[in-house]
Each structure stands twice: as C-alpha cells, then as structure tokens.
Chains A and B, each alone.
Chain A
Amino acid sequence: MRTATIYIPGDFEDAYLYMGWLVVVTAERSFRFYSLDDIVAEVCKLVPSSAYIAELMFRHNEWLTSAQFMSLAKTPSALEEVVRQFNLFPKPHFQIPPEVGFKEHDVRIDTNVVLDYFIYNRQIYVGSKDGLFSAIVDWDEDVPLLPARFRKRFEQRCINLTGRFGAVAASCGDDGLLWSAEDAYGDLNPENTQWELAEDKSVRARWLPNGIINYKTAIDPNLLGIRKTRSRERLADDQDDHGDLIVAAIGEERTPLQQLLLSEIKSHTPDVFDADLIQYIFNSDKVVFIFTFDGHFFALDVKARKVGPPQLRFSHTYKGADTRILSAAATKLGAVLETDHRVWHFANGEWTPVLDSRAISVRTFPNAKNSHNLISVTTQDGVYLVGMFDDTRRLVTM
C-alpha cells in the first residue's frame, strides 16, 4: 500500500471531506473550509514533481478505483510509473503552508461537549451531550456559507451519526437509534422533523446496501431491515448508490447478529475462538469484522437480503493488531483501524501504518464521489489527509 499525506498543523477537533472541501473543525468550534483545488495547486507550486500524485490522490481520488485505471494498472510499466511518482511525494507528508487560504466561520452550537460531526444532505450535523444540532450549508457559493447558529434537532445525547439513502441515523446510547429521511428534501422544516426510533439502544450504526447494522454495544450488532421508496427529489448525496431511492422505514425486520456470527466462526475455528474475548465488531458494505482481546481477527462476508436473515459466510482469520481497536472505518481499499497509539490500514491480511500518532478522530468516505480512498485523521497536532493506493494490484473492495 502506498500513501501520500497532507498535513495541516493546528488545534483541531475533527476534519471532513465534502463536495471538494476539506472541512476542519477548530478547537474553538469554528468551521474552516479548505478547497482541495487550492491544496493541490499549492502542492503543484511548491513541489512540481508531486503534481501527478497530488491530483490523483486529493482531487480525483475516484480515478484510482475506476475500471480504466485498474485496467491500466495491470500493465507493469504503468504501475511502476505510478509507484515512481509516489516516491516523489514529500515524506512523511506535505505540510500546508499558512498562506493557503481558507474561509473560517464562527458558529454557535449550544453545547460544551461535542461527540460527533457528520456532513450529509448538504447539512453539517453535530451530535453532542445536549442533543443533535444541524445547519444547512450553501455549498454552491464560491465559499460555503454557514448560518451563525446551529438548530437543535432533538434533546437526546447523540454519540454517533451516519447517513445513507437520504436518511440520517443518530445513535443515542440508551435513548436508541433515531432516524429521519426528511432532511433529504429541500422543503425541510427542521423544527418539525419527525425522528423515528428504530431500536431502543445504539452506540453506532453502519449501513449495508440493503440494511443497517445497529450496534447496541461495541459487540452486540443487530441487522435492521430497511425499506426504500422513490425519492421525490434528486438526492444531494448517494446518487451513485442505487439511483434516487430513499429510506422509508428502518427496523420493520430485525435480526440479532451476535449469535449468528459466533456460530459461523465457531464452526470454522472451534479451537481458536472464545466468544467471551470479543472486543470489537464492525462492518463495511460487504464484510463483518470481529476482533478479540487475545489478538485474533475474523472476517465474515455478509449480505443482507430483502427478507429473512442475512447470508453470512466465514471468510478469514487474521492475526490482530495486538492492541485494542478503538474505532474502525471502511474504505474501498480495506479497513482503517484506530488503536491506542496509531492508525492502521488493513487489507489482504496486511497491516500498514497510516499514522504513528494518537487520533482524536479518524474518518473515511467510501461512498463519497471523489474521496473513496482518502482518510482524514485529526490529532492534537493537526489534521492529516492520507491518500492510499494499492500497488499490489490485489484490490479488495469492501
């Protein structure tokens, strides 16, 4: 795996990629908008030899997993050239000089503890100890425009946010998994949104093409069925997913997954697996990963069906990271795992360090149009934007 990294020093809380902008949340909770075009232009100006990789990694990252590029990369000389270009990119990172412009918005969010940030449906969402807040951003201007104050959407402590198929799902601990698809529409009235309860407990949730896995705890996943309907407007996000289908219902069908997963693993690895030692479970679109305290790591292919329990198929056992998994996220090129002291990329049985630092936030954007293979990592020193390229040509899509 090859990486190219851009670094923005500063005291930040989080960083997000959306519509060609790197949105950075400062310690004072203002929002900074960096244009990826400007960042790439700066790399090209200061390190002309890195122009090719800067363009490929940070402006048109989707090219890397395009059929055309994959086909081209089968030619050894073409692949060697890409790798050669990678070697020209500054190591360990290219630091954005202070003169690179950004627009900063001071906003008011009525909470002192933010638990999650999320951008979807053209809105910025903020999960906090005092509830969910959101603001509609005008992304069509030269620089995105934010209102001065975020609106409160509901009161429950909101620890984690996710969105797909037009719907936003908010994990609220003992207050459950709340969701709404009303935000997908232009005539949204934030004061009157109906937030529906999909399940009574949730620490996070992750989507599948035909469902959503709700984690009642870090190790207790339930598969909730989703029913979709035709959207009455073009969706702001997810156009590449399944046309303009929007979520109409979540949780009409519910399948507890823990026992199904354990049985499937035990039937393949009876001598290795101890269910009492499960530390963390997460899923991508196609795979469920299970990590244990004793350093094992199991992968199962998962396919949600429109009706009935999911298809689960044991895939692999791997050696774990010998440390706790704090969070995990999927990219098109494998999984990104946050551990106590570093951030790792995992694919094809190989662990590759992404950043040798403790992270405050690790984000991937597997469903974003131009950011499939990018990771943003926020640390106490600043934000790292990491582009990945699989030079082994053993691509796994996740």
Chain B
Amino acid sequence: MGGYTGMSNGLLFAANASGKTYISLYAHRGSGSRRHKSKWCQAFSPPNEYALFCVADAGAWQDAAGHFWAVHNSGSTIIGERGEILCKFPANGNANVPWHGYPVSPASERDGDCPPDDFVEGWRESGVVDKTLARRIQRRKV
C-alpha cells in the first residue's frame, strides 16, 4: 500500500483490495485551485490519506448516498489544517474515475459536510467513535 503515480492534478494510488483507485488531489493539499477547498494537514501525508480511504472502504463506512466517511484513531488524530478530525470521500459512481477525499467540519455547516445522524449512530454502536465524538458530530460541534 502506498505506491503512487504523479498526475497533473494529484497523486494516483493503485487499486485497493476492492479494486478502487484513489487520487490525493493537490487542490486539497495546498496547491492548485484551493478556493473553498478544505485541506489535509501536512502531517497527514497522501499515503495516510489513501490508507484512511482503504480503512473506510474495508469497514464499509458508507452512507446511503454512497459517500464514504472516516476518522483516524477513533477521531483522536487531527487530519485537516483547521483541526478537522473527520473526512469525506464523496460518492463515485464511475469505476474509471479514482476516488478522492478531503477533511470536513460539520460545524462549518457547508452543504454535505456532515454524515447522516443514523450513520454516526451506527459508528457509535460499533465502536468506531465514542459517545462524546458521536454527539459532537451529530450536534455539528466539531
């Protein structure tokens, strides 16, 4: 895991265990068109980003709309440059297009930046996040 190819818009990772390719977009890394784009923090490298996508994929952390969501270390690791601990891999219906992702903050109230309440409840019940973090996500505090 972790081998990638440089593309014009990001770093393309090889297909994972379920056959999904992934691209770490420069736009979410501090270059390219960054307007309104949230960014991964420097310490959370593109291979980390890809690994987290694979964890979300393997764990089926996917909501009814097809988006994958993820936290690292149960949400104790900051992954975004503005303190975000949650990320989203938006639904991708085209197998030929690589997946991508970015940190999100439900508190920002940007459209689509918060996983559905029931999805978070499922995370809490299965121990992906604890009750405190589940409530903080559902209440748009983080």
Chain A residues at the B interface, C-beta cutoff of 8 Å: 13, 27, 112-113, 115-116, 129, 157, 159-160, 173, 203, 216-218, 279-280, 293, 323-324, 326-327, 338, 340, 358-361, 379-380
Contacts and interface: CB of A to CB of B under 8 A. Distances in A.
A380 B130 contact: yes
B129 to A, nearest CB: 12
**Interface of chain A, main secondary structure:** loop
B138 A113 contact: yes
B74 to A, nearest CB: 12
A129 B142 contact: no
B131 A113 contact: no
Given A293-B83, A380-B132, A115 B107 contact: no
Nearest to B131: A380
B82 A129 contact: no
Nearest to A130: B117
A115 B83 contact: no
Contacts of B117: 113, 129, 157
Given A112-B118, A360-B131, A380-B130, A326 B136 contact: yes
A159 B140 contact: yes
A309 B139 CA distance: 31
B37 interface: no
A326 B132 contact: no
A218 B132 contact: no
Given A115-B138, A293-B83, A203 B109 contact: yes
B57 interface: no
B140 A324 contact: no
A217 B108 contact: yes
Contact of B108 (A159, A218, A326, A379): A218
- Of the candidates B83, B118, B130, B141, the one having the most CB atoms from chain A within 10 angstroms of its own CB is B141
Interface in B83-138: 83, 107-109, 117-118, 120-121, 130-132, 135-136, 138
Contacts of B131: 27, 360, 380
A183 B15 CA distance: 58
A67 B138 CA distance: 42
5 contacts: A113-B121, A157-B117, A160-B139, A324-B83, A327-B141
A27 B141 CA distance: 20
Interface residues of B, number: 19
A324 B142 CA distance: 8
A157 B142 CA distance: 18
A258 to B, nearest CB: 14
Given A293-B82, A324-B83, A115 B109 contact: no
Contacts of A160: 139
Interface string B66-88: 00000000000000001100000
A358 B76 CA distance: 12
B77 to A, nearest CB: 12
A359 B132 contact: yes
Contacts of B136: 326, 360
Given A216-B109, A340-B142, 4 more contacts: A159-B139, A326-B107, A326-B142, A380-B131
B105 to A, nearest CB: 9
Contacts of A113: 117-118, 120-121, 138
B28 to A, nearest CB: 17
A126 to B, nearest CB: 13
Contacts of B82: 279, 293
Nearest to B109: A217
Contacts of A359: 132
A112 to B, nearest CB: 6
Nearest to A279: B82
Contacts of B132: 358-360, 379-380
B109 A326 contact: no
A112 B138 contact: no
Closest 3 A-B residue pairs measured CB to CB? Answer: A129-B117, A217-B109, A326-B141
A199 to B, nearest CB: 14
Contacts of A173: 109
A316 to B, nearest CB: 24
B57 to A, nearest CB: 25
B19 to A, nearest CB: 34
B107 A112 contact: no
B35 to A, nearest CB: 11
A12 to B, nearest CB: 10
Nearest to A359: B132
